[in-house]
Structure 1
Amino acid sequence: MLGFIVKRLLAATGMIFFVVSFVFLALYLVPGDPAEVLLSSQGGAPSPEVVAATRAKLGLDRSVLEQYVSYLGRIAKADFGTSFVHDEPVLDDIKQRLPRTLELIGAAAALAILIGLPLGTFSALRRGSLLDRALGLWSSVAISVPVFVLGTMLVLVFALTLQIVPAGGFTPFSISPARHMLQLLMPAITIAVGFSATILRMSRATVLEVLEQDWVRTARSKGLAVRHVVFRHVVRNALGPVLTLTGLQMGSLLGGTVLVEYVFNWPGLSGLLVQAVERRDYPVVQGIVLVIAALFIVLNLVVDVLYSALDPRVQIQ
């Protein structure tokens, strides 16, 4: 197990270094001068002298290699630089916004697993039944509906018509726990609906595959209770692919919750990333993309370790 973890850690470190380099170089290949964009957003056409002074202030007058080396040195010290627009440390914005996005994704993932895994298991155990067909239809619809459509419908029905929950916004948990949870509920459900349908399909497919194994038939022939065989043997062996899928989905959601945060006015990291891209605020874009990529890599590392704990054959392969 230790050797397996060390290999995964080395691979994760190499991937993070690649992401750091790629993010830096990709942004500097984008057409346009960040200094001119920044000054133009303040109104009027900036003079060449002002643009040159701004470039020097931002460190853009140095060669790309010098900027790259400086960037690596700052990243090694967890210094993501200063925002071009707000002139504040990028790390402060990330620290403020990241927990909100992680909370939203974590709540959605918990709901999706609690819904998708049991339903997928029951669907596999009732293969071909009316329940199986109904769940298959529901999963197709849930995956097909865009999150902004579903989110808008939830706001229309539960916030504006029934007035059960707030339409959106954010209230810190420390100020009002009840209102915070109510504001979190609808965006989490919006993400969880499609997520749970994906988990349902994967869990159904893996449970069906495990049910066809010889050792399952042997366990049944020995007279073991169906509940014991399913929950002690079948579900545990089917969790590996479901766990992998969940990790990948959560990683993609780190940067893909833009529409949900916009619909429900949830001040997360994805919304900040969109604003930074529009303003050509390179340090903010670099910092957010790097954090999202690092979290994605770490999350998949955790999934690999958990997968190997569930199935020791993974370590051998």
Structure 2
Amino acid sequence: MLGFLARRTATGLLMLVALSVLIFGLLRLTPGDPIDAYINPSVPMSTSDLAVLRDRLGLDQPLPVQYFAWARAAISGDFGYSIQRSGIPVLPLVMDRVGPTALLMGAGLVIAIVVGVAAGIVSAVRRNAWPDISMSVLSFVGISSPPFLSALLGLYFFSVLLGWAPSGGMQTPGAPYSLLDVLGHLILPAVLLSIGHAALIMRYMRASLLEVLNQDYVRTARAKGVKEFWVIVKHATRNALLPVITLIGSTIGIAVGGAIFLESVFNWPGMGLLLVNAVSTRDYPVIMGATLVIGACVIFVNLLTDVAYAFVDPRIQVS
């Protein structure tokens, strides 16, 4: 297990390096001059002043030199300073947003897993009956609904039209901190984030469970007189969860994209909103820092997913 973790950690570090190179190169390929983000357009600057500023920021160096200078500082925890936030260090700024995003994504994924697995089991057990047909229709609708459409429709119906949930933010402005207040603001974006993932998990769980229910050991358990409830829960569901675990791990990255839309719509103070604002203001250091932190989180979750295989199915050996 330790050797497996070491190899996967090394692979994850290489992926982070590749991600940093890709993002750094793409940012430099965007239209415009990076120096424009550092100057006030209303304040005229001479050519010599621009040259001095470019030299101080290292923007007059070749791209490989610029990247290695940034990477050398990033390894020590220095991701630079935000351009648009009066020189605030990037790393504390990004880490302050990790908690709200983790809360939103964690709540959304928990809802998606619970609802998706339960609906998949019911749909497989009641195959071709009305629960299966209705859940299949709902799952296709959920899979086909893009996150921004679900967010806008959910905001309009449940916040504006019905007034059942707050329309944005993480807590009520001016009110003292309250866990119930945070949960009240969390429930709607978390449910909306879970829709597509729950639908996808339901489809995978249904297909996997139907395949497992036709295995010989399930028929043997039934022939021995084991109650149908325990046949489903103890013998079939555990083995049917393997493809679902794979799906959950691979959808973390997709959930990040959905969280970016939801945080923008609901003004949720997380990584997504920070990244959107950084892109709109061309805050390059924040874009680099936020992207790397998100990438590290996705790689870490995928590592946990691989380790979870061994606990769900003892036949799988990690090596």
SS at match of 1:136: helix
SS at match of 2:120: helix
Deviations 1:33-69 (A, max 9, x none): 1112442x54366432232232223222233333222
1:270 aligns with 2:269: no
Cα distance in 2 between the residues matched to 1:312 and 1:179: 42
1:181 aligns with 2:180: no
Change in 2 beyond 3 A, CA 1:32/1:158: closer
Change in 2 beyond 3 A, CA 1:315/1:45: farther
Cα distance in 1 between the residues matched to 2:229 and 2:261: 41
**1:304 equivalent among 299, 303, 306:** 306
Long gaps (5+) in structure 1: none
1:61 aligns with 2:38: no
Cα distance in 2 between the residues matched to 1:230 and 1:187: 33
Cα distance in 2 between the residues matched to 1:274 and 1:123: 39
Change in 2 beyond 3 A, CA 1:152/1:235: same
Cα distance in 1 between the residues matched to 2:26 and 2:159: 42
TM superposition shift of 1:147:
2.7
1:197 aligns with 2:204: no
Quick check: 1:169–1:266 contact (8 Å CA) kept in 2?
yes
TM superposition shift of 1:18:
2.0
Deviations 1:110-165 (A, max 9, x none): 11111110110110111111111111001111222233333333333332333232
Quick check: 1:108–1:191 contact (8 Å CA) kept in 2?
yes
Q: Report the equivalent of 1:79.
A: 78
Deviations 1:178-235 (A, max 9, x none): 2211111111111111211111111111111111222222222222111112111211
Alignment of structure 1 residues 9-24 onto 2, 5 Å: 9-24=9-24
TM superposition shift of 1:313:
4.0
Cα distance in 2 between the residues matched to 1:238 and 1:260: 31
Runs of 4+ in 1 over 4 A off after TM superposition: none
SS at match of 2:251: helix
Quick check: 1:102–1:254 contact (8 Å CA) kept in 2?
no
Cα distance in 1 between the residues matched to 2:12 and 2:161: 48
1:219 aligns with 2:211: no
Cα distance in 2 between the residues matched to 1:103 and 1:92: 18
Cα distance in 1 between the residues matched to 2:211 and 2:77: 45
Q: Report the equivalent of 1:236.
A: 238
SS at match of 1:80: coil
Alignment of structure 1 residues 144-163 onto 2, 5 Å: 144-163=144-163
Cα distance in 2 between the residues matched to 1:174 and 1:251: 34
What root-mean-square deviation, in Å, do the aligned CA atoms of Structure 1 and Structure 2 show? 2.2
Number of residues paired by the alignment? 316
Q: Which moved more, 1:49-58 or 1:164-173?
A: 164-173
Q: Which moved more, 1:117-126 or 1:16-25?
A: 16-25
Q: What amino acid does structure 2 have at the position aligned with 1:69?
A: F
Q: What amino acid does structure 2 have at the position aligned with 1:200?
A: M
Q: Report the equivalent of 2:168.
A: 168
Identity in percent: 39
Q: Which moved more, 1:239-248 or 1:45-54?
A: 45-54
1:47 aligns with 2:46: yes
Q: What amino acid does structure 1 have at the position aligned with 2:30?
A: V
Q: Report the equivalent of 1:257.
A: 259
Alignment of structure 1 residues 76-115 onto 2, 5 Å: 76-86=75-85, 87-115=87-115
Q: Which moved more, 1:119-128 or 1:211-220?
A: 211-220
TM superposition shift of 1:174:
7.4
Cα distance in 1 between the residues matched to 2:71 and 2:155: 44
Quick check: 1:82–1:88 contact (8 Å CA) kept in 2?
yes
Quick check: 1:98–1:269 contact (8 Å CA) kept in 2?
yes
Q: Report the equivalent of 2:141.
A: 141
Q: Which moved more, 1:25-34 or 1:119-128?
A: 25-34
Quick check: 1:85–1:281 contact (8 Å CA) kept in 2?
yes
Q: Report the equivalent of 1:293.
A: 295
TM superposition shift of 1:244:
1.6
Quick check: 2:264–2:276 contact (8 Å CA) kept in 1?
no
